[in-house]
């Protein structure tokens, strides 16, 4: 096994330990929330993430948090003019039996359906895609584990919005 493959294996093993051993209290992903039933194009989501303080129409800054130790998650949606207090906050239970994990080469996908604890009419369908990323800069290679997250929010039988966000963790 060459060095590059070894680093990728270590990143994937670290990711499994990271998720299974749950060394974190709460994991947060910053992103944007789109209010509407039809998912907008990826490019519009990316634009909204870059300009989150002045997002396009129907977009709001948002944070999705989860904690596998306490089995909860929450979605906080903010007004772009007020980042201190969320205008919407939904808490979800995270039953581990409802989380499916698939591997696709070096990528790992997690999918699950969660119900809001305050009002079971709200459900969230989550898809997390984790994959190694290499960045080359000044002759040096940096290895990261990227986590892309998408959450589709439903109220009863109707889609009411979409959250997208991402994070990258450095792998030594």
pLDDT in tens, 102-159: 998 889 998 988 889 999 899 999 998 999 999 999 999 999 989 899 999 999 999 9
Q: Decide if pLDDT at 15 tops 60.
A: no
d(CA 59, CA 122): 19
Question: Does 10 or 114 have the greater pLDDT score?
Answer: 114
Sign of the Cα pseudo-torsion (10, 15, 21, 26, in order): positive
pLDDT at 98: 81
Q: SS3 of 6, please?
A: helix
d(CA 56, CA 48): 6
pLDDT at 121: 94
pLDDT at 7: 53
Residue 3 tokens read as 């060095």
Q: Region 77-82: what's the mean pLDDT?
A: 87
Q: Region 57-61: what's the mean pLDDT?
A: 92
Q: Sketch the domain layout of the chain as residue ranges.
A: 3-171
Q: What is the pTM of this model?
A: 0.78
d(CA 91, CA 77): 12
Decide if 125 contacts 91 (C-beta within 8 A).
no
Q: Decide if pLDDT at 21 tops 50.
A: no
Q: Region 28-54: what's the mean pLDDT?
A: 90
């Amino acid at each position: 096994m060459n060095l590059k493959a070894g680093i990728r294996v270590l990143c994937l093993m670290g990711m499994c330990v990271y998720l299974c051993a749950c060394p974190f209290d709460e994991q947060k992903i910053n992103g944007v929330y789109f209010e509407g039933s039809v998912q907008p194009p990826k490019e519009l989501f990316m634009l909204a993430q870059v300009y989150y303080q002045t997002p396009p129409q129907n977009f709001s800054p948002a944070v999705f948090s989860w904690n596998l130790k306490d089995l909860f998650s929450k979605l906080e949606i903010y007004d772009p003019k007020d980042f201190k207090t969320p205008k919407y906050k939904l808490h979800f239970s995270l039953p581990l039996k409802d989380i499916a994990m698939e591997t696709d080469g070096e990528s790992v996908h997690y999918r699950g359906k969660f119900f809001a604890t305050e009002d079971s009419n709200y459900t969230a369908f989550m898809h997390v895609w984790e994959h190694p990323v290499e960045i080359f800069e000044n002759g040096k290679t940096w290895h990261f584990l990227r986590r892309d997250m998408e959450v589709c929010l439903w109220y009863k039988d109707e889609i009411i919005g979409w959250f997208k966000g991402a994070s990258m963790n450095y792998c030594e």
